[in-house]
């Protein structure tokens, strides 16, 4: 199960997992987009993918989706998330609560819904998408950083609580990744300056560029595979040198 899988990093993860033989559930807020993504995955990989619509911030919606899925849930990837630009003063309560609802409550609800099936099977892997914003001070990312810090903390707690029950839980912390969201953000906020701002964002990583969704997906594949059976409770940076080479 991959949330936020209709585009960007989530789509890349779902597509790669399907190409490796996983039966993938493509979960996104919009049914049309999730079904279209599942169709695209099947056409490209000849793998198995099904689209499901779910508002991860809604307990009722999450419970309905998980009730539809029969059999074991081997892997849950929490990729659904939204962003916000603003510091403490410019972040309204509505902004704060909207970010919390999707990024924090959504991750919590999906993990909580997946755990019973994993416990019954005696195995399972949870991978959460955090961010370098969880542990680095980034300008104008107050609410977003708050949510990703919470995702990291929840990851460590779940890993600790279920380590003896066959369930692993890790998170990935990417630096900037070039997704359709980035293109839309630049077009909306910097019309006519997109190329300039894209270069500026790219240079914030010492490697000189943003990451790609496919690169994040390759790390996700490893962490969710049996090859990583000794890895749990890890916040895994994939950041183009952001932390150690600045």
Is 108 tagged catalytic? Answer: no
Please give the angle made by the CA atoms of 27, 59 and 154, to the nearest 5 degrees.
80
Each residue of 25-64: b (16+ CB within 10 Å) or e?
bbbbbeeebbbbbbebbbeebebebbbbbbbbbeeebbee
Contact 144, 86 (CB under 8 A): no
Contact 207, 243 (CB under 8 A): no
Mapped onto helix, strand or coil, the DSSP state of residue 88 is coil
How would you classify residue 46: left for phi > 0, otherwise alpha for psi between -120 and 50, otherwise beta? left
Task: Name the active-site residue from 144, 162, 190, 236.
Answer: 144
Distance CA 79, CA 81 (A): 6
Distance CA 45, CA 246 (A): 38
Distance CA 16, CA 164 (A): 29
Sign of CA dihedral 27, 211, 231, 246: negative
Enclosing H/E stretch for 34: helix 31-45
Contact 5, 28 (CB under 8 A): yes
Catalytic residue list: 144
């Amino acid at each position: 199960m991959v949330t936020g899988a209709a585009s960007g990093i989530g789509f890349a993860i779902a597509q790669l997992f399907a190409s490796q033989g996983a039966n993938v559930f493509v979960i996104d807020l919009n049914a049309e987009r999730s079904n279209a993504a599942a169709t695209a995955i099947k056409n490209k990989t000849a793998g198995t993918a099904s689209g499901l619509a779910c508002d991860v911030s809604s307990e009722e919606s999450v419970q309905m989706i998980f009730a539809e899925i029969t059999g074991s849930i081997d892997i849950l990837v929490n990729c659904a998330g939204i962003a916000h630009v603003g510091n403490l003063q410019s972040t309204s309560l509505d902004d704060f609560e909207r970010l919390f609802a999707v990024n924090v409550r959504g991750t919590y609800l999906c993990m909580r819904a997946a755990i019973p099936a994993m416990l019954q099977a005696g195995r399972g892997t949870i991978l959460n998408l955090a961010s370098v914003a969880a542990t680095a001070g980034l300008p104008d990312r107050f609410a977003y950083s708050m949510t990703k810090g919470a995702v990291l903390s929840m990851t460590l707690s779940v890993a600790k609580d279920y380590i003896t029950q066959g369930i692993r839980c890790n998170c990935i912390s990417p630096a900037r990744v070039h997704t359709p969201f980035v293109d839309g953000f630049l077009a909306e906020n910097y019309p006519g300056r997109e190329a300039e701002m894209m270069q500026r964002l790219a240079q914030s990583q010492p490697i000189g560029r943003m990451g790609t969704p496919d690169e994040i997906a390759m790390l996700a594949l490893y962490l969710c595979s049996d090859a990583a059976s000794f890895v749990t409770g890890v916040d895994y940076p994939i950041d183009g040198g952001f932390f150690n080479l600045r």
